[in-house]
Amino acid sequence: MSKPKVAFYWCASCGGCEEAVVDLAEDVLAVVDAVDIAFWPVALDFKVSDVEALADGELAASFVNGAIRTSEQREMAELLRRKSAVVVAFGACAWLGGIPGLANLSSSESILELVYGGSPSTPDGDGVRPHEESDVPEGRLRLPHFDETVRTLDQVIDVDYYLPGCPPPVDLIRSAVAALVEGRLPEKGTVLAPDVALCAECPRAQTKPADLKVTEFRRPHEVVADPETCLLAQGLVCLGPATRSGCGAPCIAANMPCTGCMGPTSRVIDFGAKALSAIASLVAPKEEASVAEVLDRLVDPVGTFYRYSLPASLLHRRVERETAGSRGGGEG
Amino acid sequence: MSEPAREGAFEPRIVAFFCNWCTYTAADLAGISRMQYAPNVRVIRLMCSGRLDPQFVLAAFREGADGVLIGGCHPGDCHYQEGNVNALRRVELLRRMLGDLGIEEGRLRLEWISAAEGDKVQRVCNEMTEQVRALGPLRLAPGPVPVLQTEGREAR
């Protein structure tokens, strides 16, 4: 009997998810024992044509990490969807958009403008920008199209399961692969992680005051946090109350507040809004002016609450103020 | 410019979340007193402004609202003691975040309106309608509306 075939692929991501697979350490041998890896560009020399040569649905599963920003990523996601029985969105970027999703605060034009023109490390120069097609003596070169918006994997293809985290914790990867091999897969659409908030498994939960109120928010570099006490109680913006557990709280163990990479629990639609709600209601003062004073210390609310989930949010991206003539199609 | 669709004039759509005990009652009073005000405001009754989940505001914008108005009891008058204070805290932070997401301050408004202030409902609804009319339609980037992952399943 032949072993089930699986594929790993990356889109708009940093490589940390691939690293997480390597972090399986010797357990990766058990994975290789149980499945045939048919495609894994970061580690093995298979080509896209090898995937194209497979029958539709021949791959038992594809693990796709990273958000979707370019036409190439879209095409690869669609190809792997066609060839796979199961597609797993692997990691925060594939599930919610992740860090690359913060690019949705800017237009694609302003990003290209900065990268190829205005950034301090770009020498003043010819203002040359990459073209999707350029003719050279050897023929025509093509680059992928750079989309206006970063999207989550399930905004592009149908996704069966989600592995949360930045990157997904090794334990969750291990149990997901085991479930797949043993055919014990849960209902489609399930996030393969516990469905309670991080505070439930936080080692500092006992020190969280019953009526927690914050009079001054602090940033991690401004304070030497007590290593035993609830970080929220120390004024650090810890997103534990709004974030899914299952990571084992490594950030808390390192005395750093949770930034929400595990995403929301299943009862939440918009992670950022819910995280904002959790943090705002901790503000101690009750009058408008003094509430504002406390909130002034919360710099960059979007980057704090939507750090991993802007493309998956209800708004998806920053609203571009229209200038005369820029209207037209694209009515939502 | 081809906008807006109907009869050339933009009519703002405003979703209002009014608390049961004060502002909703005030809106009732305005109605009984035959006070006329802009028909652009669609009222949703909450038991308390403290029930306002910031997700409601974003969902309203996603579904086509150009502005969101929240009405609660005056500070100190909350039927549940401090629900309105929580509304204040959340709306203040939400307004800051929405600003960074390109949604103007005037599209989100929190007002304390007691059950006796039917005239304030009238004034606030009229003011906000004109304010949002001046801002123009809110045009969000198109995209799917996220749904609960538990849709069709028992949430637990």
Mark whether A168 and A232 lie in a shared domain. Answer: no
Mark whether A230 and A274 lie in a shared domain. Answer: yes
Counting as low any pLDDT under 70, the low residues of chain A are 1, 124-125, 322-332
Mark whether A208 and A157 lie in a shared domain. Answer: no
Structural domain includes residue A188:
no
The complex's ipTM works out to 0.91
Mark whether A27 and A155 lie in a shared domain. Answer: yes
Q: Are B108 and B91 in contact (CB under 8 A)?
A: yes
Mark whether A21 and A58 lie in a shared domain. Answer: yes
Structural domain includes residue A15:
yes
Helix A170-181 with A27-34: angle, nearest 10 deg: 20
Instruction: Quote the minimal CA–CA distance from B18 to chain A in Å.
Output: 18
Q: Which amino acid is at A104?
A: N
Mark whether A162 and A218 lie in a shared domain. Answer: no
**What is the distance between the alpha carbons of residues B68 and B132, in angstroms, rounded to a whole number?**
10
**What is the distance between the alpha carbons of residues A110 and A329, in angstroms, rounded to a whole number?**
21
Q: Are B100 and A306 in contact (CB under 8 A)?
A: no
Specify the pLDDT at position A325. Answer: 41
Specify the pLDDT at position A1. Answer: 56
Mark whether A176 and A207 lie in a shared domain. Answer: no
What pTM does this model have?
Answer: 0.92
Give yes or no for A211 touching B (CB within 8 A). no
Chain B residue closest in CA terms to A298:
B93
Structural domain includes residue A93:
yes
Q: What is the mean pLDDT of chain B?
A: 90
What domain range includes position A42?
Answer: 5-99+148-181
Instruction: Quote the minimal CA–CA distance from B156 to chain A in Å.
Output: 8
**Cβ contacts of A244 on chain B, cutoff 8 Å:** none
Displacement of CA A99 from its chain's centroid (Å): 6
Mark whether A227 and A164 lie in a shared domain. Answer: no
**What is the distance between the alpha carbons of residues B67 and A257, in angstroms, rounded to a whole number?**
34
First-to-final CA distance of chain A: 49
- Per-residue pLDDT of B80-124, as tens digits, reads 999 999 999 999 999 999 999 999 999 999 999 999 999 999 999
**What is the distance between the alpha carbons of residues A199 and A238, in angstroms, rounded to a whole number?**
10
**A274:B54 CB<8 A:** yes
Restricting to B residues 101-140, those with a Cβ less than 8 Å away from any Cβ of A are: 101-103, 138-140
**A274:B147 CB<8 A:** no
Mark whether A163 and A287 lie in a shared domain. Answer: no
Other beta carbons within 10 Å of B31: 13
Chain A residue closest in CA terms to B54:
A273
- What is the CATH number for A92? 3.40.50.700
Mark whether A24 and A67 lie in a shared domain. Answer: yes
**What is the distance between the alpha carbons of residues A100 and A67, in angstroms, rounded to a whole number?**
7
Mark whether A224 and A160 lie in a shared domain. Answer: no
**Cβ contacts of B57 on chain A, cutoff 8 Å:** 273
Mark whether A257 and A283 lie in a shared domain. Answer: yes
**Cβ contacts of B109 on chain A, cutoff 8 Å:** none
**Cβ contacts of B150 on chain A, cutoff 8 Å:** 266-267
Instruction: Quote the minimal CA–CA distance from B90 to chain A in Å.
Output: 5
Number of structural domains found in chain A: 2
Confidence category of residue B6, pLDDT binned at 50, 70, 90: low
Point out the residue among A287, A314, A331 whose CB comes nearest to the CB of B62: A314
Three-state DSSP class for residue A152: coil
Point out the residue among A195, A292, A331 whose CB comes nearest to the CB of B92: A292
- Per-residue pLDDT of B118-154, as tens digits, reads 999 999 999 999 999 999 999 898 877 766 654 444 4
**Cβ contacts of B144 on chain A, cutoff 8 Å:** 155
The fold of B14-135 is: Rossmann fold (3.40.50)
Per cent of chain B over pLDDT 70 is 88
Structural domain includes residue A66:
yes
Backbone angles phi, psi at A296, to 5 degrees: -60, -25
Per cent of chain B over pLDDT 90 is 83
- Per-residue pLDDT of A145-204, as tens digits, reads 999 999 999 999 999 999 999 999 999 999 999 998 888 999 999 999 999 999 999 999
- Reported as type and span, the H/E element at residue B15 is strand B14-19
Residue by residue, what is the 3-state secondary structure of B44-89?
Answer: EEECCHHHCCHHHHHHHHHCCCCEEEEEECCCCCECCECHHHHHHH
Q: Are B83 and B93 in contact (CB under 8 A)?
A: no
**Cβ contacts of B2 on chain A, cutoff 8 Å:** 327-328
**What is the distance between the alpha carbons of residues B141 and A101, in angstroms, rounded to a whole number?**
14
